[in-house]
Amino acid sequence: MTSIAPEPTTPRKVVFTVLTVLLPVAVLAACVLLLMLIGRDPQSETDAGAGPSGVYPDDPAAPGQPIEPAGPTPSTGPAPPANPAADPDVIRRQALEAMAQRYRTGPFVRLLAMQPSSVVQGGAMAWMSRAGRTVDNPWLVERGQLRADRAPSSTGSAVTVSLHPDELGQPTVTVVPGVPNRVRLQVSLPPDAIAGLHVAFEGYYGHFFVPAQGQGADGEVGSIYVTEPDVTAVTFGIDAAVLPDGRPIPGPTPHPVTMYVGVEDRDGNISSYVTRQLQVVPVGSGDLEVTLTMSVATDLDLYVVEPTGVVVYYRNTSSFTGGHLDLDANAACQNNVGINNEHVFWPRGAAPAGTYTVRVANYTSCIGGAQVDYQVTVRNCGEVAVYTGSFAGDGRRDQCTASPGQDPSWCHDVVSFMVMPCQR
């Protein structure tokens, strides 16, 4: 048998073999690279690795240096309109619409104000905004500018301010944290002559100035509401039940506070100050709070029905979910007379998700059947809704644990609303 020995390999054959294998690969790679270069978007090179200001943050050659444009950009006409979704008015309207879908107002009450948790509005609830605050002060005054100095002294001018006669029937205003209160004043100046109001709370550092900036719509003079030709109103509240030194008010005894209000005219003259006696009531706080406020001392009762069907009210002051009635006023016209507020709350993280219903009942009249106006404030995961209604007559000594339907004489369905887990 004849064996065939392998032919000896020469350097020339090695080179030829290598070229035969690698040359097609190199040609193919060059074609792919050429196609990539032809199809590349020049603008994408600027945007791909750039930060918010068109800067390559990871380029070691020129850290933080802006990218030079390749050339002039051809004109494309006027700039497109701003994104309507970023417009503050659009955001506010959308937030209100979304919130309104979760709140159903009862047939015999009226919605006063609504403030989504993500939007700070003007108008009736603007006092809740803490924007522009300059010192640590728990008080909130609608549209008031908090100043670190003391309220200026009266200049002895002819300007006068006094309490409206309606205020005299209630010698003390009960203040529950987070709930708006309103004091009406009579001023001896026409609205266009008022520069503003100075508001101070005795013992608490600083004071508020509420400016007037000319006649506005709906009877509003700038930041001062004019309800009648010579009547203005101050809306105020307290953010937390704390003493002037910042310590919590020890409960359950209310803490007395004197409120001072003076008027400044356009010439800088300041009136004497009128006083209004307040009492701050310490109550529980949490993700969900419902507060009833009465215009006069009478026996109205607050009911809150939670999603489980349990009703928190004067006969069932606590629920297994953590709901608690911690303030019950004017019971049988004998207990807590003059407080004029009731309060139900769920601590942080305790309020179950679902639908809640708020009712107010006229249990018995302590004022001989005269009319009483009431206000219900719902604070739900940072959003706020305020409702108002009224009763007249002797009331009904019964429990309003079920809907009264279309009978408005003694019990009202105020609002039903949705509670969802709060975003932390």
What pLDDT is recorded for position 188?
84
Instruction: Strands of 106-250 (E only): list them.
Output: 110-115, 139-141, 145-147, 161-163, 172-175, 181-187, 194-201, 207-211, 220-221, 224-228, 231-238
Contacts of 416 (CB under 8 A, 6+ apart): 103, 104, 106, 355, 356, 357, 358
What pLDDT is recorded for position 178?
86
DSSP 32: H
What pLDDT is recorded for position 125?
40
Q: What is the mean pLDDT of each run of 10 residues along the chain (424 residues)?
A: 41 43 51 47 36 28 32 43 65 87 94 75 42 70 89 85 85 88 86 88 94 51 50 85 91 91 91 94 93 92 97 96 94 80 94 96 94 94 92 94 89 95 74
- Residue the block writes with tokens 């009331």: 395
Structure tokens at 268: 């800088």
CATH number, span 122-282: 2.60.40.10
Structure tokens at 67: 């990218």
What pLDDT is recorded for position 55?
25
Q: Are strands 172-175 and 274-280 parallel, antiparallel or unpaired?
A: parallel
Of 286, 242, 240, 280, nearest to 259 by C-alpha is 280
Residue extent(s) of CATH 2.60.40.10 domains in the chain: 122-282
What pLDDT is recorded for position 337?
72
Q: Per the confidence metrics, is the pTM higher than 0.95?
A: no
Task: Determine if the peptide bond prior to 252 is cis (ω within 30°).
Answer: yes
Residue type for 73, please?
T
Measured in degrees and rounded to the nearest 5, phi and psi for residue 387 equal -125, 155
What pLDDT is recorded for position 176?
92
Q: How far apart are CA 66 and CA 43, in angstroms?
A: 15
What pLDDT is recorded for position 16?
42
Q: How far apart are CA 52 and CA 11, in angstroms?
A: 58
Q: How far apart are CA 245 and CA 308, in angstroms?
A: 41
